Amino acid sequence: MPLWLVSSNLILGAIYLSCVDGVKVHIEVRDYRSEDWPFLEDIILHAENFGEGFVNYEKLRTDVFLKNPEYGTTLVAYDTESGKIVGFIAIQFEWMALVICSIITHHKHLRHGVGRAMIEKVKEIGRSHPIADIIRVDTGDFMEYAQQFYRSCGFEQAAYVPHYMSWNNHQMIFVQRLQRQ
């Protein structure tokens, strides 16, 4: 495992406060473990614009990242009181860029800051990466909620790419520059 990745794992564990039904909960973000998979599968199956067709592909990627941490990593957000996993994010390490492959918050925990907490963790990882300069993510041009989410987390739109994943799919690419430590 690259040294910079070892050190980024050491800083996983910051606590983020979120408010659910007026009750404050603590959210932490940690590395994914293979026994987490059933919870991720459940999250994927219930997520808007995801569902059954995505399960095998997401599983394949989490397995590849577990075996090859230099390619990428999967992180999970969990409630420190209950231990319940409330979201996950997968990032790939590309040349000078961290690319967000997937981000999903559990459908019962939307709009409680879980997504933002996971993005903040990716920023921390990026800041300690030896050469990464940007975080990049793309989303469907019809997914306005996701575009608003990325903008609210500090991303700006870099491009609109017609026919990106299939002939009828058009993606918007968002980037944000990493602030070096």
For ligand COA, the binding residue among 103, 122, 125, 135 (CB under 6 A) is 103
For ligand COA, the binding residue among 8, 98, 113, 136 (CB under 6 A) is 113
**Closest CB to ligand COA among residues 4, 120:** 120
E-strand stretches of the chain? 15-20, 23-31, 72-79, 85-94, 97-105, 134-140, 156-161, 171-177
68 is an interface residue for ligand COA by CB under 6 A: no
Here's the x/- map for ligand COA, 25-64, by CB under 6 A: it reads as ----------------------xxxx--------------
Rounded to a whole number of angstroms, the distance between the first and last alpha carbons of the chain is 22
Residue nearest to ligand COA (CB): 115
Neighbours of 160 (CB within 10 A): 12
Window contacting ligand COA (CB under 6 A); options: 51-59, 63-71, 122-130, 144-152: 144-152
E-strand stretches of 42-125? 72-79, 85-94, 97-105
**Closest CB to ligand COA among residues 12, 143:** 143
Number of residues that bind ligand COA (CB under 6 A): 21
**Closest CB to ligand COA among residues 68, 148:** 148
**Nearest-5° Cα angle at 86, 80 to 92:** 110
* C-beta separation of 135 from 121 below 8 A: no
Exposure pattern of 136-153 as b/e (b: 16+ CB <10 Å)?
Answer: bbbbeeeeeebbebbeeb
104 is an interface residue for ligand COA by CB under 6 A: yes
DSSP-derived 3-state class of residue 149: helix
Least Cβ distance, residue 11 to ligand COA (angstroms): 20
110 is an interface residue for ligand COA by CB under 6 A: yes
Query: Residue 94 and residue 134: Cα distance in Å, rounded?
Result: 10
112 is an interface residue for ligand COA by CB under 6 A: yes
Query: Residue 55 and residue 52: Cα distance in Å, rounded?
Result: 5
Residues near ligand COA (CB under 6 A) are 47-50, 103-105, 110-116, 139, 143, 145-146, 148-149, 152
